Chains A and B, each alone.
Chain A
Amino acid sequence: MDKNLTVKDIILSFKNRANEHIIKDVVCSLGYDISGEMGGKWTVKIDKGKVIIEDGLNDPDVVISMNDEDFISFTLGKLDPVNAISAGRLKITGDAQIAQQSAKFFKKYQIDNGEEREELVRLRKILSIPQRFSTGEVMGFFLNNLKKKKIMANKCPKCGRMQCPPREVCAICKVEASEWVEVGPEGRLTVADIVFYASPDPLTGEIRKTPYITAYILLDGCEDPDTFWHEIDPDTPHEKLKRGVRVRPVWNEKRTGAITDIKYFELVED
């Protein structure tokens, strides 16, 4: 590592490293709070293609905090950001999405030592093959009934369990399940998971609004532990998500025969 490289050098170099075609419409500000001997506080403002560097943290959209050595390592690609966050060495406060996107705003910092860096070929491509999925009879029957606001389970002739969503066989008894029984629509929450981190959709890049709540629900008519997997109204206060609490489905106005015909489940409150 270049012993003469300072944190300030790197901050000032943002001006020369901008990817103009990417930042031409961007308006945001990134705050850097670097601790250590070489540390300092700076705000890098991006205003439609212009990069302005100011001393101090002047109300930035996001603040990136780490120590000086880590900042230099990170800039030179030697410190993995995910590892650094996990280990508490890199903290991001404010709009984390902007921090994530800012990786594209600037070119990589190159140490000027006169050597030509070998260009490795990297291909970026989104691969997709259009599909047409069949529901088949069993799933098809279930999904069609969702249109009618009915939740159908199919029963195992041997052990009697109500399978919801329905399957062609009872996997435990290894026999064909055939009898249809309506269950729910209400039920009890067995356990809920509050999702804070949503991964971007691989095809669209969209990120779901978080937190949202996935849950397992024991529908009326089903026997423990044959639970139904769905979601709870994301606005539900988390303290109310107690084991055993009663829930009911909230149906979409427009139903198409998909699992999303149930928008989510909400708490039944007296």
Chain B
Amino acid sequence: MEKIGICAFSQTSVESDKWYQRFQEMAFEVVKDLLEQTSLDFSDSGIEMTISVSDDVFDARTISDNAMTDVLGAHYRCEEKVAQEGLQAIYYACSVINSGIADVVMVVGHCKESQAKSRNMVTHMAFDPFYARPVGLDFQIAAALQAQTFLDRANIGEDELAQIVVRARERGSKNVLYPNLTPVSVEEVIASKYLAKPIRELHAYPVSDGAVGFILASEKKAKEICKDPVWVTGVGCSMDTYFPGNGDLINLGSLKKAVSRTLDRANTSLDSIDIYEFSDQYAYQLPLYLTNLGFCNLEDVSSFIKNGGLDEKNINLSGGMLIGAPLILGGLFRVVEAIKQLKGISENQIQDPKTAIVQSSMGPAAQFNSAVVLSRDN
């Protein structure tokens, strides 16, 4: 795969309730910023195509991109909506640019988890109407089943989970674009009420509203548009079987495949990567992903976390998705954080990273996984 360049990135603040804006205004903040950064316009010599990310069920709007065409510059132009985990918009943008169909693509995603009475009512609708739905499953409950299995097998508990949350929030609180986030203590985490045992309220990513976007271009165009593009060198994804529990809940085949496909396309290996951003919707997911990808064994999870393994290996330096992101935009917000690290402007900056990998998941118990490798020139 030929690398493509990210010439600009932008996000709105991520808040628990953006009651004062509708989607159009929220997304327009991002679009306006991207246009200002790049001085591009919507034309055959500027942004040729827009890929939007949104979900009809979350938006309660059939053809949710229908509402967005105005602000996305899509009047009499091409716009297509990726209705899947947002990282897939980058996967798709890679194929569009690599194919020659368009050289410059804008990606903008929006979502308000606060609009529906409960995001769990939305994810409840992902299940088949005959068996899994009447049983009462939603993504949170499926996660709880997976969490309990993992906690038992890795022999970890409240302490380790609380440490992950405390670390995440401490890092995320430094980011002014997450105004509702405050640091918490281990005691507060352990005392927070259960959502679905063993998942406690503070173990879960906060209900979030926000929009995020990027301008992506072919290598040649990217160098014309901006001084220092961040390169997307690999993309990949994989889908697992549907019924959670049809197999080992903690053996994430789709995660391993998604990451290995991404690394193949980027022609690199996992330990060559400098920083890792995982979309951990619930605290247990972070160590779960790590054991699946070989960062540590099941029996070593506790010591890995307690001895600062996350900091040492540069994992979720931003705090990960536990700091907040709407469900379908988890991956794209992690991409923003990864780009900031590569450009040296992160609130949690480490010394000189050159490559990053971003992962995100969708579906019950991480049924679908997606990943992206980013790198910068020296």
Q: Which positions in A face B, CB cutoff 8 Å?
A: 121, 123, 125, 127, 129-139, 167-169, 171-172, 174, 176
- Docked complex Cα distance between A138 and B70 (Å): 14
Contact sample, A vs B, 9 pairs, CB 8 Å cutoff: A129-B60, A134-B18, A135-B22, A136-B20, A168-B24, A169-B28, A169-B70, A169-B71, A174-B75
A176–B36 Cα gap in the complex (Å)?
Answer: 13
Bound Cα distance from A263 to B74, whole angstroms: 33
Contacts of B19 in A (CB 8 A): 132, 134
Bound CA span A127–B133, Å: 12
Contact of A138 with B25 at beta-carbon distance under 8 Å, contacts A171-B75, A176-B32 already known: yes
Query: In the bound complex, do residue B21 and residue A171 qualify as a contact, i.e. CB atoms below 8 Å apart?
Result: no
Q: Are A133 and B115 in contact (CB under 8 A)?
A: yes
In the bound complex, residues from chain B placing their C-beta under 8 Å from that of A138 are 24-25
Q: Is the CB–CB distance between B125 and A137 below 8 Å?
A: no
Q: Which residues of A contact B75 (CB under 8 A)?
A: 171-172, 174
Given known pairs A130-B116, A135-B22, A137-B21, the reply for A174 and B130 (CB within 8 Å) is: no
Q: Is B121 an interface residue (CB 8 A)?
A: yes
B69 at the interface (CB under 8 A from A): yes
Taken together as a complex, chains A and B put the C-alpha atoms of A71 and B125 apart, in Å, by 40
How long is the Cα–Cα vector from A125 to B125 in the complex, in angstroms?
Answer: 12
Residues of chain A lying within 8 A (CB to CB) of residue B70? 167-169, 171
On chain A, the residues within 8 Å of B41 by CB distance are 174
Q: Which residues of A contact B117 (CB under 8 A)?
A: 129-132
Taking the nearest CB of chain A, how far is it from the CB of B26, in angstroms?
8
| Cross-chain contact of A121 among B32, B71, B130 (Cβ < 8 A) | B130
- Tell whether B315 is near chain A: CB-to-CB under 8 Å: no
Cα distance A46–B122 in the bound complex, in angstroms = 43
How far is A136 from B28 in the complex, measured between Cα atoms in Å? 12
CA distance A133 to B17 in the complex (A): 11
Q: CB-defined interface of B6-35 with A at 8 Å, one 1/0 digit per residue?
A: 000000000000111110110010001000
B13 → chain A closest CB, angstroms: 15
Contact-residue size bin, chain B (C-beta under 8 Å from the other chain): 20 to 34
Secondary structure of the A contact surface, majority rule:
loop
Q: Which of A123, A134, A169, A172 contacts B21 (CB 8 A)?
A: A134
Q: How far is the CA of A132 from the CA of B112 in the complex (A)?
A: 10
* B25–A132 touching, CB < 8 Å: no
Count the A-B residue pairs with Cβ separation under 8 angstroms: how many?
66
Query: A182–B149 Cα gap in the complex (Å)?
Result: 62
4 closest Cβ pairs, A-B complex = A136-B22, A171-B75, A171-B70, A130-B117
Task: Return A141 CB to nearest CB of chain B, in Å.
Answer: 12
Interface presence of B91 (CB below 8 A): no
The one of B42, B71, B74, B125 that contacts A168, using a Cβ cutoff of 8 Å: B71
B169-206 interface (Cβ within 8 A of A) = none
| B22 touches which of A121, A129, A130, A134 (Cβ 8 Å) | A134
Nearest CB of B to A194, in Å: 25
Known contacts A137-B25, A168-B70, A174-B41; A132/B129 CB under 8 A:
no
Residues of A within 8 A of B22 (CB): 133-136, 139
Contacts A123-B129, A135-B22, A172-B75 given; 13 further ones with Cβ under 8 A?
A121-B130, A130-B116, A131-B116, A133-B60, A134-B18, A134-B19, A134-B21, A137-B21, A137-B25, A139-B22, A168-B28, A174-B41, A174-B42
Once the chains are docked, how many angstroms separate the CA of A129 from the CA of B123?
11
Q: List residues of chain A with CB within 8 A of the CB of B20.
A: 134, 136-137
A171 to B25, CA, bound (A): 14
Expressed in whole angstroms, the minimum distance between the Cβ of B114 and any Cβ of chain A is 8
Q: B253 near A: Cβ within 8 Å?
A: no
| Docked-complex contact A129 and B25, CB < 8 angstroms | no
A157 CA to B198 CA in the complex, in Å? 56
Question: Which residues does chain A contribute within 8 Å of B73, judged by CB atoms?
Answer: 171, 174
Q: Which residue of A lies closest to B74 (CB)?
A: A171
Which B residues touch A168, using CB under 8 A?
24-25, 28, 70-71
B130 to chain A, nearest CB (A): 7
Residues of B within 8 A of A133 (CB): 22, 60, 115
Contacts of A174 in B (CB 8 A): 41-42, 73, 75
Of A136, A138, A139, chain B has the most CB atoms within 10 Å of the CB of A136
Contact present for A136 and B121 (CB under 8 Å)? no
B115 near A131 with CB under 8 A, answer: yes
Cα distance A123–B132 when bound, in Å? 14
- Check B21 against A129 for contact (C-beta < 8 Å): no
A177 nearest in chain B by CB position = B70
Q: A131 with B60: in contact, given A139-B22, A169-B71 (CB under 8 Å)?
A: yes
Chain A residues contacting B69 (CB-CB under 8 Å) are: 171
Docked CA distance A133–B20 (Å): 10
